């Protein structure tokens, strides 16, 4: 990413543009080459094949979403914890609505036969980590959890990972972790439901509905 040759940059830009028109499955190396103005085989000088293009689109996609969300969150006054929480929800949906195919690439059906490589994992956690950071900054609410042992163990394991991710875990308990992950799941569940058409006929106003959910979860977390 840092020092990509201009040709690679151009290819990825065009690929992302075309992704916005046709969806991941139909994204074709030949069509990208055509728009870049080059013969298909020329791309092999810069990328090992079609799959590498998808990998790069996924990685940079998570990063673009993560940046958009972090930037939106950063504009809210630090002490306005609830406002920051709402901002993450709103910004995530706004990015998804603005880039529906890119969103689908990240959070829709995985591309067939495609296994997410290691390098895409870290960028993929940026949104949930932002949520976690906000929850951790809030005055401790007395969350009552009734999780089963397996879930508790998973939550404990998550807490153990937090310091390595740059998050102070002192004030974080399993109840907080579970609440944040549940909120995160609901956030992307609601966006996917809206974008994929499942709320048509019930919650027809996606933006307002997502705001409602943001407030409802903030209430529950005591933000």
Partner DNA sequence: TGTACATCAGTGAACGCGCGTTCACTGATGTAC
What is the contact surface with DNA in residues (CB under 7 A)?
Answer: 7, 27-31, 38-42, 44-45, 49-51
Per CB under 8 A, 40 contacts a copy of itself: no
**How many angstroms separate the most distant Cα atoms in the chain?**
62
Closest approach, Cβ 48 to DNA, in A, equals 8
Question: Measured from the CB atom, is 46 or 89 closer to a copy of itself?
Answer: 89
Question: Measured from the CB atom, is 8 or 15 closer to a copy of itself?
Answer: 15
Per CB under 8 A, 182 contacts a copy of itself: yes
Cα–Cα distance, 164 to 140 (Å, whole number): 22
User: Which pair of tokens denotes residue 100?
Assistant: 């529906």
Residue position matching structure tokens 């069509």: 31
Question: Measured from the CB atom, is 137 or 181 closer to a copy of itself?
Answer: 181
Cα–Cα distance, 207 to 22 (Å, whole number): 25
Residue position matching structure tokens 């103005």: 37
**C-alpha separations of 20 from 36, 78, 118, 124, 128 in Å:** 16, 35, 25, 20, 25
- The footprint of a copy of itself (CB under 8 A) covers 22-26, 104, 107-110, 112, 116, 121, 124, 145-148, 150-151, 154, 158, 161, 178, 181-182, 185-186, 188-190, 192-193, 196-199, 201-205, 208-209, 211-213, 215-216, 219
């Amino acid at each position: 990413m840092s020092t990509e040759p201009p040709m690679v940059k151009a290819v990825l830009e065009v690929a992302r543009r075309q992704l916005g028109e046709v969806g991941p499955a139909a994204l074709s190396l030949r069509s990208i080459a055509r728009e870049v103005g080059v013969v298909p085989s020329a791309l092999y000088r810069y990328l090992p094949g079609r799959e590498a293009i998808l990998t790069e689109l996924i990685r940079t996609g998570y990063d673009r979403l993560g940046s958009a969300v972090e930037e939106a969150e950063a504009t809210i006054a630090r002490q306005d914890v609830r406002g920051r929480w709402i901002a993450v929800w709103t910004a995530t949906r706004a990015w998804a609505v603005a880039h529906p195919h890119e969103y689908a690439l990240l959070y829709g059906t995985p591309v067939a036969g495609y296994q997410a490589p290691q390098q895409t994992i870290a960028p993929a956690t940026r949104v949930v980590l932002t949520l976690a950071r906000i929850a951790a900054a809030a005055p401790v609410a007395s969350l009552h959890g009734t999780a089963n042992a397996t879930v508790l163990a998973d939550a404990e394991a998550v807490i153990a990972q937090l310091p390595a991710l740059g998050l102070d875990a002192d004030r974080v308990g399993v109840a907080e972790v579970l609440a944040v992950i549940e909120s995160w799941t609901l956030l992307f569940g609601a966006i996917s439901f809206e974008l994929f058409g499942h709320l048509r006929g019930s919650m027809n106003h996606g933006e307002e509905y997502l705001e409602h959910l943001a407030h409802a979860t903030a209430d529950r977390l005591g933000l």
